[in-house]
Amino acid sequence: MSTETSPTPARLNHAAVVALIGRDIVNGKYAVGEILPFEEEFVEKLDVGRGVIREAIRVLAAKGLVETRPKRGTQVLPSSMWQLLDPEILFWRIGQDFDPKFLRDLTDLRSMIEPAACALAAERASDPELQLIAALTRELNYAKDDELAFIEADLKFHRTIMQSTHNEILVQIGVAIESVLRLSVEVTVGIGHGRRIEEHEKVANAICNRQASKARNAMADLIGLNVLDIASILGPAFSNPKK
């Protein structure tokens, strides 16, 4: 039995290396401007072939995290170059801890995008999409006692609105925003969703009646609630984050 403990130390594959180094960069273990270890060092430290390291660094470069140059090595780029909305980078940043500053940035974005998207959806949504939105508000009601189902329905509600704008870019930003959204739902677990459901219904009704500005305002109200919820958990660090 003891012979089975480590059949082979489970060599890292390319994706694991990307995550390993990527996390260390976005979390500041490697400072901006710093040259990170040379290929050969990674090769022996992680016990993988050089190709794996190279491909991993290529991926990081594609995401704007690093830049490679002969003789100088691989340098960490300023964070203004990072593709912050890239799902992986987002995951590395959110997964770790909730940097209040970054959370506020995402909330800013959400406050700009979602209300405006509701207005667009009210104008552009197809009839089937409107029906889907209406159906989802009902589903929210059914699921109000099942936390997990409620969260999923909530997320799908917002996602559907984004899709109803018929704007590829907005759909994508919507996916990025989902992490804040999920947080704002999760922090309210157990305190009842009555108010939340009401607000969702207002949004849905406005969209389905094609009242653009009403939909915008309703969503702004909804987000306002969420922001209060988040702020009550994170305290002043969120509303007024350290620079």
Using CB under 8 A as the criterion, which residues of the chain lie in contact with its own copies when the complex forms? 14, 51, 54-55, 58-59, 61-64, 79-80, 82-88, 102, 104-106, 108-109, 111-113, 116-117, 120, 165-173, 243
Cα 64 to the center of its chain, rounded Å? 18
Q: What are the distances in angstroms from CA 181 to CA 42, 128, 169? A: 37, 25, 18
Binding partner at 69 among its own copies, DNA, none, C-beta below 5 to 8 Å by kind: DNA
C-alpha 52/C-alpha 50 separation (Å) is: 5
> Binding residue for DNA (CB under 7 A) from 29, 45, 49, 101?
49
CA dist., res. 51 & res. 22, Å (int): 17
Whole-number Cα distances in Å, 26 to 12, 34, 66, 99: 20, 13, 11, 11
- Candidate list 50, 101, 138, 195; residue touching DNA; CB under 7 A: 50
Nearest to 204 by CA among 114, 120, 134: 134
Q: How far apart are CA 243 and CA 65, in angstroms?
A: 21
Should residue 60 be labelled a site residue for DNA when binding is judged by CB under 7 A?
A: no
CB of 175 to DNA, least distance (A): 23
For Cα atoms 142, 146, 149, give the angle at the middle one, nearest 5 degrees: 80
Task: Supply 145's token pair.
Answer: 């006692």
- The reply on whether position 10 binds DNA by CB under 7 A is no
Q: Determine, following the binding rule CB under 7 A, whether residue 54 of this chain makes contact with DNA.
A: yes
Nearer to its own copies, 26 or 143 (CB): 26
Beta bridge mates, 222 = none
Q: Which is nearer to its own copies, 140 or 230 (CB)?
A: 230
Query: What tokens does 108 get?
Result: 């800013």
d(CA 178, CA 110): 9
Among 22, 63, 74, 98, binds DNA (CB under 7 A): 74
Radius of gyration of the chain (CA): 22
Span from 51-59, 90-98, 185-193, 205-213 in contact with DNA (CB under 7 A): 51-59
Select the binding partner of residue 109 from its own copies, DNA, none (C-beta < 5 to 8 A, by kind).
its own copies
Q: Which is nearer to DNA, 67 or 147 (CB)?
A: 67
Instruction: Tell me if 29 contacts DNA by CB under 7 A.
Output: no
| Closer residue to its own copies in complex, CB, 44/168 | 168
Binding site for DNA (CB under 7 A): 8, 11, 13-14, 38-40, 47-52, 54-55, 57, 68-74
